[in-house]
Amino acid sequence: MSLKLYIGNYNYSSWSLRPWLVLRKAELPFEEQVIDLDIPGYKDKLLALTDAGTVPVLQINDDMLPDSLAISEFCAKAVPNLWPTDPKEKAEAQRVTKLMHEGFQALRNEAPMNLRRRTSKPVPQNCLDDAAEMVALWDDLLSRHDGPFLFNDWSIADAFYTPAATRFASYDLPRTARSDTYISELMADPDFQDWEAEAFIETHILPETDKVNQ
Ligand SMILES: N[C@@H](CCC(=O)N[C@@H](CS)C(=O)NCC(=O)O)C(=O)O
């Protein structure tokens, strides 16, 4: 089976980072190709891959699979233990992953992933509300597990919250000591650090994203 993951820019593409981490943890060999976002012609390139017109897209032999969660589920079918093995834990991990896939809109808009960014400028209240809701969710899960991850061992849920964790660091968002430890754990992950290293040498800039909260 040959796998190729089309991704957006390392510094900004939170949706791309998620399945990239899952593929790494699954130890599935894959090629990756960056498509520079927000430049003339970029949308045509995305639409040439799939009708979704977004990245990430996983090419599986000759088939194209868009969407971070669908790609992660594909990996979970191929490789066990990307979800918790206990059925109740798995259902809860899938629920909180879906929550991240569909929600926290204000946090996503007002504090977009921008790995090179470090600022302490105040963010709007709706963003703070999302951040507080996320911290409460993490604290609840971490209090019921031994850690260091949301469901003890690393799972797809942690992949989905990794880009969110970076936003707490980038925008200096309030968090509890327990959540701060979790954020540090995700950001110290060697696979995440490989991705972050690419973001630090990447030269493509998304000016609109860089302007958020300036
Ligand atoms: N629900 C999709 C969202 C993907 C998405 O919005 N990706 C962004 C990059 S992070 C994108 O392709 N943006 C380009 C555009 O919308 O024109 C997923 O989970 O993969």
The phi, psi pair for 11, rounded to 5°, reads -70, -30
Handedness of CA 139, 68, 7, 151 (dihedral sign): positive
Q: H-type helices in 123-155, by residue range? A: 125-143
Instruction: Please tell me the CATH code under which domain 3-79 is placed.
Output: 3.40.30.10
Report the distance separating Cα 120 and Cα 100, nearest Å: 24
Choose the residue to mutate in 11, 45, 55 for probing ligand 1, maximizing ligand atoms within 8 Å of C-beta.
55
Whose alpha carbon is nearest atom 14 of ligand 1? Answer: 54
Q: How far apart are the first and last CA of the chain?
A: 45
CATH class of the structural domain 83-196: mainly alpha
Whose alpha carbon is nearest atom 11 of ligand 1? Answer: 54
Domain ranges for the chain? 3-79, 83-196
> For the chain (length 214 residues), average pLDDT per consecutive 10?
97 98 98 97 98 98 98 96 97 98 98 97 98 98 96 98 98 98 98 98 95 90
- The reported pLDDT for the residue numbered 169 is 98
Going by the DSSP 8-state scheme, the letter that residue 3 receives in this structure is E
- The reported pLDDT for the residue numbered 80 is 87
- The reported pLDDT for the residue numbered 214 is 85
